[in-house]
Amino acid sequence: MAKHDHDILAGEYALGTLDAQERSEADRLKVSDSSFARAVSEWEARLSHLNEAVPPVEPPASTWNKIEAALAAQVPAGNTALSDLAQQMVDLKRSLAVWRYATMGAVAAALALAVVWIGGLDTSLRQAPPEERYVAMLQSDKGETGFVVTMNMNGKQFAIRPVSAQEPASSSYELWAIMKDGKKPPMTLGLVGTGAYAMMDAPAEIDHKMLEKGVQLAISLESKGGAPTGKSMGPVMFAGLLVKQTP
C-alpha cells in the first residue's frame, strides 16, 4: 500500500469510520507494521482535541469497584501456567518501561554496578560445572510459542530457534534479557529473525548467580533495525523465563 493510502487508512481508523471487518484488518496491521501503528497514534492525538466539546458524564459509582475487582482477579493465585505467563508479560512490560523512563543518574548507577559486578565474573566462571544448559520458551500472551532459546553456559552462547513467529512488516524483533532482581536495565541481545536458527554470544553479565536469581527473556517489536536508544520502545510480543535444563 502506498504511504499516502496507509496514512489515510490510519486516519479513517482513528476517526472511527471503518466497518467491523476493515477495523479488524487494520488492528492486525497495527501489530505487524510499526509505522502504521505510529500513524494511527498520530491521528488519534491530532483528532483528540475534538473531545473537548464532549461534555463529561460521571460514571456510576460502582464502576471503580468493578475495575478494582477485575485487577485483583488478574493476580494469579497459583493457577495455570498461562495466567502466570500473562502476569509475567505484564511484569516484563513494566520492567522495560521503568528503565525506559530511567534518568541518566540511574543509568550511570546501573553501569557502575555492572562494572563492580563484572569484577566478580572470573570466579563464577571457574566454578561452572560442565555442560550446563538453560532453556526458555518465548510465548505470546495468547500462549503461542514464538521462539525457543537455549543457552550453553560453557560456551556462553544463545541459540535461538523460531517456532511460530512471523516476520513483522517494516519492524524488527529485538531480544532482551531482564534480570528479575531489577538492579540492572534490560540488556539487548540483538535483533532476531524468524527465518532460521541463529547463534548469538551471551553477554558477560549473565552468569550462574544471575540465572539463579532469574533471567527473563523478552522479544519486543521495535522499529526496523532495533530500538535506536538502546532501550526498548515497542510492545513485548513474546517472553519466557530461562530455566535450567535437567540432564
Is the Cβ of residue 67 or residue 243 nearer to other proteins in the bound state? 67
Minimum CB separation of residue 43 from other proteins in Å reads 8
Is the Cβ of residue 69 or residue 116 nearer to other proteins in the bound state? 69
Residue type, 205: E
For residue 242, what are the CA distances in angstroms to 82, 85, 186, 234?
Answer: 16, 13, 14, 22
Here the cell at position 207 is: 552468569
Rounded to whole angstroms, the Cα distance separating 85 from 70 reads 17
Could you give phi then psi for residue 219, rounded to 5 degrees? Answer: -115, 120
Element (H, E) at 176: strand 171-179
Minimum CB separation of residue 25 from other proteins in Å reads 13
Minimum CB separation of residue 27 from other proteins in Å reads 9
Is the Cβ of residue 57 or residue 116 nearer to other proteins in the bound state? 57
Minimum CB separation of residue 198 from other proteins in Å reads 27
Is the Cβ of residue 60 or residue 78 nearer to other proteins in the bound state? 60
Minimum CB separation of residue 114 from other proteins in Å reads 22
**b or e along 24-53 (b: 16 or more beta carbons within 10 Å of the residue's beta carbon)?**
eebeebbeebbbbbebbeebeeeeeeeeee
For residue 122, what are the CA distances in angstroms to 31, 118, 125, 128, 134?
Answer: 43, 8, 5, 10, 20
Is the Cβ of residue 194 or residue 223 nearer to other proteins in the bound state? 223
Residues interacting with other proteins, by CB under 8 A?
4, 7-8, 11-12, 14-20, 23, 38, 41-60, 63-64, 66-67, 70-71, 74, 90, 93-94, 96-98, 100-101, 233-235
Minimum CB separation of residue 32 from other proteins in Å reads 16
Is the Cβ of residue 159 or residue 233 nearer to other proteins in the bound state? 233
Element (H, E) at 141: none
